[in-house]
Amino acid sequence: MSLVQEFIDYLVHEKRFSEHTVIAYKKDLENFLEIVSAESDEEISELSHRDLRSYLVALVESGLENSSVNRKLSSIKTFYRFLRQKGDCDVNPCSKLKGLKKKKALPQFVPESQLWSDNIFDEQQDEFENALDHLMIEMFYQTGIRQAELIGLKENDVSSSKIKVLGKRNKERIIPISQKLWVLIDRFLSIKKSIGLKGEFLFLLKNGKKLS
């Protein structure tokens, strides 16, 4: 049995990887052996660090994204760790081979006009649910507060010009708000009052329970 087949059997029967994962490993290995021109078990066992570096360069020059290169490299590293443990190669040629740095994508900010259309809050929806959804989305968008901070807002934490937020490690901060946001807050408070909904927290479900 070839070293590659032994490795595949190992993934299936001992590691119990999914069929999809095993197929991906096999394709990576076949691609690797084709690039480094290794056909026999002896040639596979005798590949050097330089051979692996050449393989890495070939992947980069082919135009693959760094993340794809690293995934293929991970497959080869796993293969050679397996061979080393079995004693089928004296030195692991991947031992000092490092993956490529992941490219960091710059954040892209979405214009408010693209967030939703004017009719996303359906007028036929329950008035309370409508006001709750609209206020939460505007609150997140305009203030940048965390989910836990929004859930923890109390009615006495808000005013017509600012909100008081209790953040991590109980640090308190004041965030100015726009008149538009205050109009939504005031509307939601009025609806809560009209249906007899009471509680110290600003955001409540219709049954009176705090948001989770």
Question: For the segment 193-210, what is each residue's pLDDT rounded down to a tens digit?
Answer: 999 998 899 999 989 888
166, β-bridge pairs: 172
* Bridge partners of residue 176, in order along the sequence: 162
**Same domain for 76 and 125:** no
Choose among 87, 10, 105, 11: nearest CA to 45: 87
The answer to the question of residue 73 being in a domain is yes
- Cβ(84)–Cβ(92) under 8 Å? yes
> Is 93 domain-assigned?
no
Is 173 a domain residue? Answer: yes
Instruction: Tell me the C-alpha distance between 61 and 63, whole Å.
Output: 5
122 and 175, same domain (yes or no): yes
Q: What does the pLDDT read at residue 156? A: 92
Q: What is the pLDDT of residue 121?
A: 60
How many other β-carbons are positioned within 10 Å of the β-carbon of residue 181?
A: 19
State the alpha helices, DSSP H only, in 40-146.
41-45, 49-61, 66-86, 127-143
How many residues are listed for the chain in this entry?
A: 212
Same-domain status, 74 and 133:
no
The CATH code of the domain that includes 127 is: 1.10.443.10
120 and 165 in a common domain:
yes
Residues 57, 119, single domain; the answer is no
For residue 115, the model assigns a pLDDT of: 63
Residues spanned by the domain of 52: 3-86
Is 207 among the domain residues? no
Instruction: For residue 16, give the CATH number of its domain.
Output: 1.10.150
Query: CA-to-CA distance for 149 and 170, rounded, in angstroms?
Result: 10
3-state secondary structure of 141: helix
Same domain, 132 and 187: yes
Q: What is the pLDDT of residue 120?
A: 61
Q: For 195-199, which contacts have Cβ atoms below 8 Å and span 24 or more sequence positions?
A: 195/128, 197/128
143-185 pLDDT per residue, tens: 999 999 999 999 999 999 999 998 777 888 999 999 999 999 9
How many domains does the structure of the chain reveal?
A: 2
Same domain, residue pair 9 and 81: yes
pLDDT band at residue 97 under the 50/70/90 scheme: confident
3-state secondary structure of 102: coil
End-to-end CA distance of the chain: 56
Token pair 């940048």 is found at: 144
In a domain, 62, yes or no: yes
* 8 and 75 fall within a common domain: yes
11-to-27, 167, 182, 208 alpha-carbon distances in Å? 14, 46, 59, 53
pLDDT of residue 2: 87
pLDDT of residue 127: 87
pTM above 0.75, yes or no: no
